[in-house]
């Protein structure tokens, strides 16, 4: 069901932390847009920002360039994504060492999607790390200081059952994971039920909700179907008839995401990870509603 959140009282709530996720640009125009997004979000002082990484290192150079620029030109703390797909242990370890030498201490360890695309069978590299738990172990062994891993409020599509799903998260934690970031979701009751499962299993690391502002409802629905995330009927109703009305779509998207995060705050959540899609507008607006704002610039007399 839809969330109905009350406005926050900034004087009577715990401090909130946000992080933002970017993907490496494929062209000069995309790089310009990414950098405009980064600059827009810098004043919000996020806990960290992460840059995604393609299967088998297919975006390795672009990911490295993006992280290097963030390190050199901003005060932000970057986290590098890593996957296990189509790479040997030695190859992955070399990438980890390169990032560590660059000054990166935070990582997001993911098994990664099958090389043939979501929905196809996953085949581990014969000499590679088999899953996110093994990758987290490698990161811890090589000196990573902060290791985020994935979590699934609606169960990973390939997990046989909930016990197997939670057991995999526990293995990640046992191997050094310090934080879990969830797949996006739209029903906060699902997140709360998932968190209860996690805590009941004795897993006590932070579980940060992954928030996806809906820039394009049709594309989001297609992606949700591929990764096992449900799209509630009430959400579809909110965006019905807006395919050719981008202005109203944007306003509705901001309202929907704001309702979700405000409701989660009322449930005690203090940390949020935003999948920005390299666009700052919706995450920035949502943070404003949360009370996370850039410091006012002094005006010359």
Residues facing 179 on adjacent strands: 148
**CA 107 to the chain's CA centroid:** 12
Q: Say if CB 37 and CB 280 are below 8 A apart.
A: yes
Angle of CA points 260, 265, 271, to nearest 5°: 95
Rounded Cα distance, 211 and 256, in Å:
11
Closest CA to 104 of 70, 57, 53, 150: 70
* Cβ-proximal residues to 155 (8 Å cutoff; 6+ apart), any chain: 161, 162, 165, 228
Q: Say if CB 61 and CB 99 are below 8 A apart.
A: no
Residue 271: how many other CB atoms lie within 10 Å: 16
N-terminal to C-terminal alpha carbon distance within the chain: 51
φ and ψ of 70, to 5 deg: -60, -45
| Residue 194 burial by Cβ neighbours in a 10 Å radius (0-12, 13-18, 19+) | buried
Angle of CA points 81, 65, 18, to nearest 5°: 50
Closest CA to 221 of 192, 184, 248: 184
DSSP string covering 86-103: T--HHHHHHHHHHHHHHT
Rounded Cα distance, 22 and 30, in Å:
11
Q: Is 61 in the active site?
A: no
Annotated catalytic residue: which of 21, 134, 154, 259?
A: 21
Active site residues: 21
């Amino acid at each position: 069901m839809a969330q109905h959140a009350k406005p926050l009282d900034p004087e009577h709530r715990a401090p909130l932390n946000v992080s933002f996720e970017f993907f490496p640009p494929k062209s000069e125009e995309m790089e310009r847009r990414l950098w405009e997004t980064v600059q827009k979000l810098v004043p919000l002082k996020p806990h960290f920002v992460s840059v995604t990484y393609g299967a088998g290192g297919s975006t390795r150079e672009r990911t490295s360039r993006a992280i290097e620029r963030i390190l050199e030109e901003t005060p932000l703390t970057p986290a590098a994504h890593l996957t296990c797909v189509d790479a040997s242990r030695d190859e992955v370890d070399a990438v980890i060492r390169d990032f560590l030498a660059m000054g990166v201490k935070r990582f997001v360890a993911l098994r990664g999607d099958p090389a043939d695309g979501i929905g196809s069978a996953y085949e581990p590299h014969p000499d590679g790390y088999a899953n996110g738990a093994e990758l987290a172990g490698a990161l811890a062994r090589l000196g990573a200081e902060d290791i985020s891993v994935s979590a699934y409020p609606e169960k990973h599509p390939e997990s046989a059952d909930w016990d197997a799903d939670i057991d995999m998260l526990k293995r990640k934690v046992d191997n050094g994971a310090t934080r879990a970031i969830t797949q996006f979701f739209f029903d906060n009751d699902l997140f709360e039920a998932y968190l209860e499962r996690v805590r009941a299993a004795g897993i006590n690391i932070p579980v940060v909700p992954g928030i996806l502002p809906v820039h394009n409802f049709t594309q989001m629905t297609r992606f949700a179907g591929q990764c096992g995330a449900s799209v509630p009927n009430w959400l579809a109703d909110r965006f019905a008839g807006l395919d050719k009305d981008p202005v109203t779509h944007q306003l509705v998207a901001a309202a929907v995401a704001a309702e979700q995060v405000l409701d989660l705050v009322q449930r005690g959540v203090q940390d949020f990870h935003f999948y920005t899609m390299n666009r700052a507008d919706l995450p920035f607006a949502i943070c404003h509603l949360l009370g996370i704002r850039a410091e006012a610039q002094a005006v010359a007399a």
